[in-house]
Chains A and B, each alone.
Chain A
Amino acid sequence: MQAFDDVTVLDLTCHVAGPYATRLLADFGADVIKIERPGGDPARALGPFQGDAPHPEKSGLFFYLNCNKRSVVLDLKREAARSALLRLADRADLVVESFRPGVIERLGIGWETLQARKPSLSLISVSNFGQTGPYRDYRASELVLYGFGGEMYSMGLTEREPVKMAGTAALFESGSAVAVAAAGALFASRRFGIGQRVDISLAETQLGGVDRRHAAAIGYQFSGRRMVRTAGAAAGMPGGIYACADGYVDFNGAGLYPDRVLDMLNSPEWALDPKYADPLARLNPAIIEEWNANFIAWCIERTKREIWTEARRARVLCGPLFTMQDMYEDEHFRGRGFWQKAEHRLMGEVEMAGRPFIMQQGGWQLRRPAPLLGEHTQEVLREAGVSEAAIAAATGEGVLR
């Protein structure tokens, strides 16, 4: 038994944010029916690919985002496909879509159509800037959305351009926000019979998030002060990122607890100088620099793991900068069973990050690998009572079976 195993989601999203949201629902039991256009979700064309050879069934990104889902190919330009889709919607609790604003209405499967058929059904619409307003038709990507909505402006060096997060991290954040809204819509529907349209602007999910933006914005409202781009280099006693014998260690915020830092260093004579104990010393660049000269010498003699061991013993805020290899091989995550394997028909055994959180009951399960394109077209449409002739008309030609 899984928490959402009584929930059916009709998933018309593609790329990263929408599919990540529906994967979270699928991971906790929902039957997520992924509708793909002929040719498939464009994420199938995005890497990394197994063996660096582009192939629609061998994208590591698509794989991760679509485990636990079933794939149905429908050419929604065909009338028969649209009526099959409505049959699927009748059996669903939630429809999630990420077409450009206006497209779902033009396809004849918009909110008014869905609501008339099933009042308790909700439609979650995910778009770049929302279903309304002057930017509703604007294009975007992770970089564009994060630069506009997230607190990217203050990331990097003052004299350089702002610099973003890695990969498509912001779209995973936004996808999480979509999942919360989807679950909220499920509660309104199941408890009160309320079906509704939920309009989600990816830009607004960046603005409304918790990573610094809200604080920079209200800090300005309060005081008229603005954020300057500031690097994370060594500052504070300690604070920021330090080089060590084999890499780097992050000590942001560690100086908030000077006693613990002293303990980590085993109270060397230099650190006991009373001028460092004055709370206002933390605001004096000359004193900070002097302290850091000694601290840097301590760091450079030790490896990142040695430093972290000392920091953990003394309860100091600290994190070594790991590569993916460091993290993958690390005994902590491995020992906790974090890494998971799935068997895929074309890729063989695929290893990936496992559960996002652990529930005692009804929790995360890897029930099936990412689907092949259209793998479940026949199965799903038959379940919905669509006739064989209608299935043929809805799917058209060139469907992988």
Chain B
Amino acid sequence: MTGRMPLEGYRVIDLCVVWAGPFATMLLGDLGAEVIKVENPFVFQPLTRGAMAHPPAAMIENSPAWSGGFPRNQLGPRPWNYGPTFVSIFRNKKSFTVDLRRPEGLELLQRLVARSDVVYENNATGTMEKLGITYDWLRQANERIIFVRVPAYGSSGPYRTARALGVHLEGVMGHTLLRGYEDTDPSANTAIYSGDYLAGAQGAFAVMAALWQREKTGEGQLIEIAQAENAASMFTQAIMDYTLNRRVQGTIGNRDVFGRAPCGVYPARSPGTAEASLDRWVSIHCTDDAAWEGLKRAMGSPAWAEEPRFATNEARAANFRELDALIGAWTAELEDYEVMRRCQAEGVAAAPVLEASRTFDDPQLRARNFFRRQRQADAGEYEYLGPMWQFGETPVEFYQPPVMFGEHNDYVYRELLGCSEEEYQRFQDAGHVAMEYDASVR
């Protein structure tokens, strides 16, 4: 190991909200960039550090684990520092507070921009403009700045002002009608945010493309990621089927988009009910005839598997309901991991559909040291999901635990911005420097 990181020495200002933007800056932090979250003690941005600064206890109790599962099931004094929906993407970032609605706050931001390489924002259209933050304004402070904006539908066109989370723009891009069970209406579809994954990762990629370009030209630039457009590639099969064949694809549940069968999710022996999240499921996918032969062996070569109705892929795909029922009768008697072992031993793709808590017990993830323990002063010490890649020489570590609101005010005000003691005191008295939200914030 070299002790170096690919993006060390670059500084990124994070004006992001919700998931897509913060995921991008987290990845840049993972690769060694210094990421500084800019936060406002007078404004609680919904869906960035939680739903509310001080949510009522009843709201937490009635919310699912991913939003209501607070440490030890208590809200604690500063819920914004460890809301489960967001806390994992606070790693490898610094936080400083400033009220950007006031002129002196904007001036502080401009001073920080002068010492930075990238400004990244994914707010609702118009939010930055209302504060006076535009590309031209940033360039006044730093000609070489790279400014990334992530409007839901782009900065032009009839939908430019539409408000959206990832789930809404996936609906517009066709995903919600393409996924889900075949025999229910789309309201059976759970809200998901795959577009936030794509736009976040590609936002980090875009920043690196612009930095690479700047190394050659010396010039910064403005980048626009219209999140809806960005999401489109995920649905390539459906898009190309439309552009090539004018076919409108619909949902096929868990079946293979390329028609290879069997492909599905089957019941495994369960220690409890679905209501208790103790039902177990295992996926099995035969991607060619050899895999089907393997699955037959894994199942103990049952007589039904030799019937002509399952003899070819075409036949298996046509008779998938009968086939799935027979495979399901086999899996239902076994533990999900046992199904995986038997299938994989015969070269068949299979794995448990893991409920999140069980990832922490998985032998593969343990063998690869995937998880990372992190201690944050307010939350305590817990194990978090790990990084997406293993670099041989510049390993991704979680050198900064999930950052607390205002944790790096000292560093940013004093070291980076060079504030004098008197200046710092003045900003503190004016409420810019804080580790709590103002009393007026709910």
- B257 at the binding interface (Cβ < 8 Å): yes
Residues of B within 8 A of A209 (CB): 23, 197, 201, 388
- A232 at the binding interface (Cβ < 8 Å): yes
* Bound complex: CA A133 to CA B370 (Å): 11
- A312 at the binding interface (Cβ < 8 Å): yes
Known: A218-B384, A220-B357, A256-B51. A166 touches B243 (CB 8 A): no
* Bound complex: CA A241 to CA B162 (Å): 17
Additional A-B contact list (20), CB under 8 Å, known A61-B236, A350-B244: A65-B236, A133-B363, A134-B364, A145-B351, A153-B356, A156-B188, A187-B208, A188-B394, A200-B388, A211-B194, A215-B86, A226-B65, A227-B356, A231-B187, A243-B187, A249-B171, A319-B164, A319-B170, A322-B172, A355-B229
Residues of B within 8 A of A166 (CB): 175, 178-179, 234-235, 238, 251, 257
The answer to whether A357 touches B230, judged by C-beta atoms less than 8 angstroms apart, is: yes
* Bound complex: CA A201 to CA B163 (Å): 35
- B314 at the binding interface (Cβ < 8 Å): no
- B123 at the binding interface (Cβ < 8 Å): no
The answer to whether B237 touches A220, judged by C-beta atoms less than 8 angstroms apart, is: no
* Bound complex: CA A144 to CA B363 (Å): 17
* Bound complex: CA A153 to CA B392 (Å): 32
Q: How far in angstroms is the closest Cβ of chain B from A215? A: 4
* Bound complex: CA A137 to CA B346 (Å): 11
The answer to whether A323 touches B177, judged by C-beta atoms less than 8 angstroms apart, is: yes
> Which one of B70-78, B304-312, B410-418, B422-430 is at the A interface?
B70-78
Residues of A within 8 A of B393 (CB): 188, 194-196
The answer to whether A240 touches B187, judged by C-beta atoms less than 8 angstroms apart, is: yes
Instruction: Give the contact-size bracket for chain B.
Output: 35 or more
* Bound complex: CA A325 to CA B386 (Å): 39
Residues of B within 8 A of A216 (CB): 65-66, 356
Known: A167-B178, A177-B388. A332 touches B159 (CB 8 A): yes
Residues of A within 8 A of B113 (CB): none
The 20 sampled A-B contact pairs (Cβ below 8 Å) are A1-B217, A138-B351, A139-B287, A144-B284, A148-B351, A153-B354, A163-B253, A167-B236, A180-B31, A185-B391, A194-B2, A196-B393, A210-B89, A213-B356, A252-B167, A317-B168, A321-B186, A332-B157, A359-B206, A360-B222
Residues of B within 8 A of A282 (CB): 59
Known: A147-B354, A327-B172, A357-B223. A211 touches B196 (CB 8 A): yes
Smallest CB-CB separation from A362: which chain B residue? B213
Q: Scan B333-376; emit 1 where CB is below 8 A from any A CB, else 0.
A: 00000001000100111111111110110011101101000000
Q: How far in angstroms is the closest Cβ of chain B from A320? A: 6
Q: Scan B266-293; emit 1 where CB is below 8 A from any A CB, else 0.
A: 1100000011110001011101000100
Residues of A within 8 A of B347 (CB): 139
Q: How far in angstroms is the closest Cβ of chain B from A299? A: 12
* Bound complex: CA A24 to CA B209 (Å): 10
- B240 at the binding interface (Cβ < 8 Å): yes
Kindly identify which residue among A4, A161, A170, A279 contacts B209, using a CB–CB cutoff of 8 Å: A4
Residues of A within 8 A of B277 (CB): 153, 226-228
Which of B156, B197, B352 is the most central at the interface, judged by chain A CB atoms within 10 Å of its CB?
Answer: B197
Kindly identify which residue among B2, B175, B238, B385 contacts A218, using a CB–CB cutoff of 8 Å: B385
The answer to whether B165 touches A308, judged by C-beta atoms less than 8 angstroms apart, is: no
Residues of B within 8 A of A137 (CB): 344
Which of A194, A222, A248 is the most central at the interface, judged by chain B CB atoms within 10 Å of its CB?
Answer: A222
Kindly identify which residue among B68, B171, B281 contacts A321, using a CB–CB cutoff of 8 Å: B171
- B397 at the binding interface (Cβ < 8 Å): no
Smallest CB-CB separation from A241: which chain B residue? B187
Which 3 A-B residue pairings sit nearest by Cβ, starting from the closest?
Answer: A60-B240, A319-B168, A219-B69
Known: A181-B389, A207-B386, A214-B385. A3 touches B213 (CB 8 A): yes
Residues of A within 8 A of B41 (CB): none
Kindly identify which residue among A132, A187, A356 contacts B230, using a CB–CB cutoff of 8 Å: A356
The answer to whether B58 touches A283, judged by C-beta atoms less than 8 angstroms apart, is: yes
Q: How far in angstroms is the closest Cβ of chain B from A358? A: 4
The answer to whether B364 touches A129, judged by C-beta atoms less than 8 angstroms apart, is: yes
Kindly identify which residue among B234, B244, B291 contacts A167, using a CB–CB cutoff of 8 Å: B234
Q: How far in angstroms is the closest Cβ of chain A from B281? A: 6
Main secondary structure of the interface of B (DSSP, over half): mixed
The answer to whether A60 touches B66, judged by C-beta atoms less than 8 angstroms apart, is: no
> Which one of A32-40, A71-79, A333-341, A388-396 is at the B interface?
A333-341
The answer to whether A181 touches B388, judged by C-beta atoms less than 8 angstroms apart, is: yes
Known: A196-B392, A327-B173. A167 touches B238 (CB 8 A): yes
* Bound complex: CA A180 to CA B7 (Å): 12
The answer to whether A361 touches B213, judged by C-beta atoms less than 8 angstroms apart, is: yes
Interface residues of B in 211-251 (CB under 8 A from A): 211-213, 215-217, 219, 221-226, 228-230, 232-245, 247-249, 251
The answer to whether B244 touches A198, judged by C-beta atoms less than 8 angstroms apart, is: no
Q: Scan B1-38; emit 1 where CB is below 8 A from any A CB, else 0.
A: 01011110000000000011011000100010000000
- B47 at the binding interface (Cβ < 8 Å): yes
Q: Scan A16-55; emit 1 where CB is below 8 A from any B CB, else 0.
A: 0000100010001000000000000000001111111000
- B98 at the binding interface (Cβ < 8 Å): no
Smallest CB-CB separation from A138: which chain B residue? B344
The answer to whether B242 touches A160, judged by C-beta atoms less than 8 angstroms apart, is: no
The answer to whether A199 touches B344, judged by C-beta atoms less than 8 angstroms apart, is: no
Q: How far in angstroms is the closest Cβ of chain B from A155? A: 4
- A401 at the binding interface (Cβ < 8 Å): no
Kindly identify which residue among A147, A184, A203, A279 contacts B283, using a CB–CB cutoff of 8 Å: A147
- A118 at the binding interface (Cβ < 8 Å): no
- A158 at the binding interface (Cβ < 8 Å): yes
The answer to whether A211 touches B172, judged by C-beta atoms less than 8 angstroms apart, is: no
The answer to whether A227 touches B64, judged by C-beta atoms less than 8 angstroms apart, is: yes
Q: How far in angstroms is the closest Cβ of chain B from A337? A: 10
- A57 at the binding interface (Cβ < 8 Å): no
